[in-house]
A = this chain, B = another copy of it.
């Protein structure tokens, strides 16, 4: 598997998450960066993403959605990396990606979600052949930590 092929697959992954998942489009997320070990996902504040109309803050559900999909992206990119290092074909890798799904997610809401935009990022804690664990974080436009997540993802591949 050449570096061009990985780059192609990351491009494909980005397209799937950003443009082909209807709810991700509804949220309006943008993937600013995606490598084999990191992702940065941006979401802009918008009136219909508000939870509390008095305090004007992001709904907790939007926060957990963004942390979940950011963790899924990072788990997926890691599966690509592992499979490519074992010489998997592009077909096998596409199949590996299709099997990825969230098993469970914990979200800690740390500060009120105030800001004009937010960025989620994360890193892999466990990169197994069956299960991946990813810690994620959401910061606002002043770089304050708004929420933290830990997700376990099914990532069976060979």
Contact = CB atoms under 8 A, between A and B. Distances in A.
Given A133-B110, A156-B130, A64 B53 contact: no
Nearest to A105: B107
A102 B103 CA distance: 13
A102 to B, nearest CB: 5
Interface residues of A, number: 48
B102 A130 contact: no
B125 A104 contact: no
Contacts of A21: 50-53, 59
A145 to B, nearest CB: 7
A105 B67 CA distance: 12
A53 B106 contact: no
Interface in A49-82: 49-53, 59-62, 64-66, 68-69, 72
A34 interface: no
23 contacts: A20-B53, A21-B51, A21-B52, A21-B59, A23-B50, A25-B48, A26-B26, A26-B48, A59-B65, A60-B72, A62-B65, A64-B107, A65-B65, A103-B103, A104-B106, A105-B107, A106-B150, A108-B133, A108-B150, A110-B125, A110-B126, A111-B126, A133-B148
